[in-house]
């Protein structure tokens, strides 16, 4: 059978009393600083079972499995190391379930060690060859990679490592990976461990050791490892009846780019797809070694489709006939170039598969999701974004596509061109111009994609290979002095050749900019502004020009012109500390009165003047000045009631503004404070003030005296009729 010995079902039992993984599409990744492994070796008291490997070899296998989980977790498990020396215990391997005896003794073997919850502590128990199978406790999906637990395996030289990886997967909350086969009638059978690509499937043992394949997209999403663009979501947006998108998938065993898809159909069924191409961590996996017509030939290289089950905790690998017209030719799991998977609401077509096992090889897959019953809605919005090429354009140097200003959540496809012709296999974010490319013009096309949006393809400006390879240098002015209160500082910069610029503030995402550039409103404290130039040949300076500065806190002040103002008088207010050029508004309260707006001058000062109306309520009032950038400040003052006017006597007005007779009013000093204003706010009349209007005889003096009394009398008794 092509070197295959048998099929071992690994992970057949879960420890009693432990729940299965909770439903859900995926757990949030919990970064665990470290995991610990506590090792115990079982001695068979019946004398029937022995270890085919030395203790040193067994420990090496354990260490390999632990470090593989560090790699598979993308270092979310920062380390996974053995603690202390292995313990030993005696167990009768002729009895069933020897692992249960070991699990029950863990508290005695390792006092005080908690193997539950998010402890990160793992019991690794190993028995002699043939002493039981693989077993693991089922961890919580919510705890994911931070879970502790217990596993048991037998010492099997050719597949023991894979079994340990599988059982540790149970500790982290993963369920078994299923497989489904269907016959010509459409009747299907699901095998509990039937996905032999997956770590959580059955373990294959053979005459030659097996290396487990990498975690698939479903497992990585389940554990919270996969990023949004590693496994993009594919689904219809609101009001969409159909969407067709093409993706470039890198091999599942590689470490960069899009490596899978999670598709949701209108009926709600989800599928997870991967490209298995013998690459990277998949290089020594079972499917790389067996081909049709062997029993295991159904697990071929190609694009795999898994159906995610309704509980969200497990997935089933779907197979299809090699020849739909002749089921006797067998079934295969992976789809190859030109083949199509179809189900309600979805068509997955494999357009092309690149040959070889390069880490940059891709599978091109087109997915169409359709919901004919959906009501017609507006067209899906289109992505936005641009792309440029960074790096040296010399032959053998690395060019990098740098997408900017894209719709948040966008994932990218790349295609590099030389002189307008697509370069075969150049579909990653980097490209190295080959020998003989001197003088060629290199561009890159980036296609932004995400669920619910129309894809957008944009092409970068060209760079010439072997032309100008010298990066420009940017000169950046010093920026604001430390302690400056200018919260929207302006930066000036230039390059030593024609160039475009990318700016960044406080470590944020770089954005296209031109000189001079004015920053948005900044808070007091330290800030950093950087700018990097790219010349017309596509050379980008390796390090940006940088300026770091500290803005001081601004103090706003408002001062009124007078502490007290009589009704009908004028008031003024001056504000300082505002941003130069800022529009400052003024309000007088208690009953709000809009004082209008003034522009702060170069020193940040504004001035307001207004008349307190004759009917404004006496008492304490507040003037508040507000700038949208600087904030608000206020000052208060008192409004005094104006004194009543003089009586009407019919006499001629008195020289000096004081008079009697029709229409005469007291003279009010509306511009003096209480410290200099006569009591009552009415200009006092003295004897000397009226002497100048009295002339002649004594009779006139008596008339003048009467007039004086008439003027003064209202200040104490009020006007009379």
* DSSP, residue by residue, 79-95: -EEE-SSPEEEEE-TTS
- Looking at the structure, tell me whether residues 183 and 157 fall in a common domain: no
Structural domains of the chain, count: 5
Tokens 């980036």 map to which residue?
A: 446
- Looking at the structure, tell me whether residues 252 and 295 fall in a common domain: yes
Q: Taking each helix axis from N to C terminus, what angle separates 55-72 and 160-171, rounded to the nearest 10 degrees?
A: 50
The pLDDT of residue 664 = 30
Range of weakest confidence among 475-479, 536-540, 693-697: 693-697
Number of neighbouring beta carbons within 10 Å of residue 176: 25
Given a cut of 80, whether residue 356 has pLDDT beyond it is: no
- Looking at the structure, tell me whether residues 92 and 47 fall in a common domain: yes
Given a cut of 90, whether residue 19 has pLDDT beyond it is: no
> Which helix (H) or strand (E) element contains residue 98?
helix 98-104
- Looking at the structure, tell me whether residues 119 and 168 fall in a common domain: yes
Q: What's the pLDDT tens digit per position in 420-435? A: 999 988 999 999 998 8
Phi, psi of 182, deg, nearest 5: -130, 150
- Looking at the structure, tell me whether residues 65 and 132 fall in a common domain: yes
The pLDDT of residue 253 = 93
Shortest CA distance to 268 belongs to which of 227, 232, 312? 312
Phi, psi of 702, deg, nearest 5: -65, -40
Under 8 Å between Cβ of 452 and 236: yes
- Looking at the structure, tell me whether residues 135 and 226 fall in a common domain: no
> Which helix (H) or strand (E) element contains residue 388?
strand 386-390
Q: What is the mean pLDDT of the chain?
A: 82
Q: The domain that contains 600 carries what CATH number?
A: 2.20.130
The pLDDT of residue 615 = 85
Query: 3-state class of 351 per DSSP?
Result: strand
Instruction: Name the most confidently modeled range: 208-222, 250-264, 425-439.
Output: 250-264
Given a cut of 50, whether residue 187 has pLDDT beyond it is: yes
Shortest CA distance to 176 belongs to which of 222, 121, 115, 122? 222
Given a cut of 70, whether residue 290 has pLDDT beyond it is: no
**Sign, CA torsion 579/582/588/592:** negative
Contacts of 569 (CB under 8 A, 6+ apart): 562, 611, 612, 668, 670, 671
The answer to whether residue 670 sits within a structural domain is no
Given a cut of 70, whether residue 650 has pLDDT beyond it is: no
Given a cut of 90, whether residue 25 has pLDDT beyond it is: no
Phi, psi of 528, deg, nearest 5: -130, 130
* Six-digit token string for 88: 């030993």
- Looking at the structure, tell me whether residues 376 and 460 fall in a common domain: no
Instruction: Name the most confidently modeled range: 185-199, 248-262, 321-335.
Output: 248-262
The answer to whether residue 655 sits within a structural domain is no
- Looking at the structure, tell me whether residues 311 and 365 fall in a common domain: yes
- Looking at the structure, tell me whether residues 589 and 613 fall in a common domain: yes
* pLDDT class of 395 with cuts at 50, 70, 90: confident
Pairing of β 583-589 and β 619-627? antiparallel
CA of residue 101 relative to chain centroid, distance: 47
Please compute Rg for the chain using Cα positions.
42
The pLDDT of residue 437 = 86
Q: What's the pLDDT tens digit per position in 529-556? A: 999 999 887 788 989 999 999 998 878 9
What does the DSSP 8-state code read for residue 705? Answer: H
Distances (CA, A) of 193 to 339, 430, 711: 25, 39, 113
Phi, psi of 106, deg, nearest 5: -60, -35
Given 632, 654, 682, which residue is the final one in a domain? 632
The pLDDT of residue 226 = 93
- Looking at the structure, tell me whether residues 334 and 405 fall in a common domain: no
| Distance separating alpha carbons of residues 403 and 392, to the nearest angstrom | 17
Distances (CA, A) of 678 to 55, 92, 617, 682: 109, 114, 21, 7
| Distance separating alpha carbons of residues 267 and 93, to the nearest angstrom | 50
* Six-digit token string for 671: 């511009």
The answer to whether residue 450 sits within a structural domain is no
Residues 399-413, mean pLDDT to the nearest whole number: 92
Cα–Cα–Cα angle for 31, 36, 40, rounded to 5 degrees: 150
- Looking at the structure, tell me whether residues 578 and 546 fall in a common domain: no
Structural domain span for residue 624:
557-632
The answer to whether residue 518 sits within a structural domain is yes
The pLDDT of residue 6 = 37
Given 524, 551, 578, which residue is the final one in a domain? 551
* Six-digit token string for 572: 């003024």
- Looking at the structure, tell me whether residues 236 and 343 fall in a common domain: yes
The answer to whether residue 485 sits within a structural domain is yes
Residues 96-115, mean pLDDT to the nearest whole number: 92
* pLDDT class of 666 with cuts at 50, 70, 90: very low
* DSSP, residue by residue, 596-658: EEEE--TTS-EEEEEEPPTTSPSEEEEEEEEETTTEEEEEEEEEEPPPPPPPP-SPPEETTTE
Phi, psi of 627, deg, nearest 5: -115, 135
Q: The domain that contains 133 carries what CATH number?
A: 3.40.390.10
The pLDDT of residue 392 = 81
The answer to whether residue 712 sits within a structural domain is no
The answer to whether residue 653 sits within a structural domain is no
Range of weakest confidence among 114-118, 207-211, 394-398, 549-553: 207-211
Shortest CA distance to 442 belongs to which of 464, 471, 422? 464
Under 8 Å between Cβ of 105 and 139: no
Number of neighbouring beta carbons within 10 Å of residue 44: 20
The pLDDT of residue 207 = 64
Given a cut of 90, whether residue 675 has pLDDT beyond it is: no
Given a cut of 60, whether residue 24 has pLDDT beyond it is: no
By CB atoms closer than 10 A (0-12, 13-18, 19+), residue 285 is buried
Contacts of 178 (CB under 8 A, 6+ apart): 190, 191, 192, 193, 194, 195, 309, 314, 315, 316, 317
* pLDDT class of 115 with cuts at 50, 70, 90: very high
Q: The domain that contains 393 carries what CATH number?
A: 2.60.40.2700
The pLDDT of residue 122 = 95
Shortest CA distance to 671 belongs to which of 661, 683, 659, 656? 683
The pLDDT of residue 436 = 83
Residues 300-326, mean pLDDT to the nearest whole number: 91
Residues 465-471, mean pLDDT to the nearest whole number: 78
The answer to whether residue 669 sits within a structural domain is no
Given 551, 574, 595, which residue is the final one in a domain? 551
* Six-digit token string for 624: 């508040």
């Amino acid at each position: 059978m092509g070197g295959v010995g048998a099929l071992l079902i690994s992970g057949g039992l879960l420890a009693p009393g432990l729940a299965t993984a909770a439903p859900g599409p995926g757990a949030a990744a919990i970064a665990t600083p470290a995991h610990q492994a506590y090792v115990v070796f079982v001695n068979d008291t019946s004398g029937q079972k022995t270890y085919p490997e030395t203790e040193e070899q067994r420990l090496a296998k354990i260490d390999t499995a632990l470090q593989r989980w560090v790699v598979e977790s993308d270092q979310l498990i920062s380390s996974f190391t053995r603690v202390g020396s292995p313990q030993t215990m005696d167990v009768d391997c002729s009895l069933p379930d020897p692992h249960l005896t070991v699990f029950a003794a863990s508290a005695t073997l390792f006092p005080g060690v908690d193997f539950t919850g998010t402890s990160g502590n793992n019991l690794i128990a190993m028995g002699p060859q043939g002493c039981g199978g693989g077993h693991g406790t089922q961890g919580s999906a919510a705890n994911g990679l931070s879970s502790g637990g217990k596993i048991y395996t037998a010492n099997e030289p050719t597949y023991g490592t894979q079994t340990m990886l599988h059982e540790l997967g149970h500790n982290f909350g993963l369920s078994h990976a299923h497989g489904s086969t269907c016959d010509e009638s459409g009747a299907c059978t699901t095998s509990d461990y039937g996905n032999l690509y997956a770590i959580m499937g059955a373990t294959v043992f053979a005459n030659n050791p097996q290396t487990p394949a990498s975690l698939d997209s479903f497992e990585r999403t389940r554990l919270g490892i996969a990023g949004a663009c590693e496994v993009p979501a594919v689904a219809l947006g609101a009001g969409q009846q159909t969407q067709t998108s093409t993706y470039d998938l890198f091999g599942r065993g590689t470490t960069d780019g899009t490596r899978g898809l999670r598709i949701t159909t209108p009926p709600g069924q989800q599928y997870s797809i991967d490209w298995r191409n013998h690459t990277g961590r998949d290089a020594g996996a079972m499917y790389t070694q067996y081909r049709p017509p062997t029993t295991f030939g159904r697990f071929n290289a190609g694009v795999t489709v898994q159906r995610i089950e309704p509980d969200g905790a497990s997935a089933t690998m779907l197979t299809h006939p090699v020849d739909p017209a002749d089921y006797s030719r067998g079934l295969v799991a992976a789809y190859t170039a030109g083949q199509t998977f179809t189900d309600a609401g979805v068509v997955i077509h494999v357009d092309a598969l690149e040959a070889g096992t390069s880490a940059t090889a891709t599978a091109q897959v087109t997915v169409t999701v359709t919901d004919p019953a959906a009501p017609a809605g507006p067209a899906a919005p289109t992505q936005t974004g641009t792309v440029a090429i960074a790096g040296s354009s010399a032959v053998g140097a690395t060019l990098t596509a740098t997408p900017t200003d894209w719709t948040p959540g966008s994932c990218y496809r790349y295609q590099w061109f030389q002189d307008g012709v697509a370069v075969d296999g150049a579909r990653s974010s980097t490209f190295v111009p080959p020998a003989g490319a001197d003088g060629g013009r290199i561009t890159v096309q980036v296609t932004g994609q995400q669920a619910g949006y129309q894809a957008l393809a944009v092409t970068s400006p060209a760079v010439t290979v072997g032309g100008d390879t010298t990066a420009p240098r940017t000169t950046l002015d010093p920026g604001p002095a430390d302690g400056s209160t200018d919260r929207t500082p302006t930066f000036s910069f230039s390059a030593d050749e024609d160039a475009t610029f990318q700016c960044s503030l406080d470590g944020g995402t770089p954005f296209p900019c031109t000189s001079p550039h004015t920053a948005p409103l900044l808070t007091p404290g330290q800030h950093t502004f950087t700018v990097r130039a790219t010349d017309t040949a596509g050379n980008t300076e390796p390090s940006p020009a940088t300026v770091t500065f500290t803005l001081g806190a601004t103090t706003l002040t408002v001062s009124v012109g007078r502490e007290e103002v009589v009704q009908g008088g004028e008031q003024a207010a001056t504000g300082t500390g505002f941003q130069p050029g800022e529009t400052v508004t003024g309000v007088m309260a208690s009953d709000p009165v809009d004082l209008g707006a003034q522009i702060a001058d170069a020193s940040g000062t504004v001035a307001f003047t207004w008349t307190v109306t004759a009917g404004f309520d006496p008492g304490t009032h507040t003037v508040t000045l507000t700038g949208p950038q600087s904030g608000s400040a206020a000052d208060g003052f008192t409004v005094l009631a104006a004194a009543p006017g003089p009586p009407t006597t019919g006499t001629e007005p008195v020289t000096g503004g004081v008079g009697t007779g029709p229409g005469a009013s007291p003279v009010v000093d509306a511009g003096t404070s209480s410290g200099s204003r006569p009591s009552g706010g009415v200009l006092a009349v003295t004897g000397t003030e009226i002497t100048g209007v009295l002339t002649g005889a004594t009779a006139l003096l008596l008339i003048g005296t009467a007039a004086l009394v008439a003027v003064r009398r209202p200040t104490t008794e009020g006007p009379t009729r």
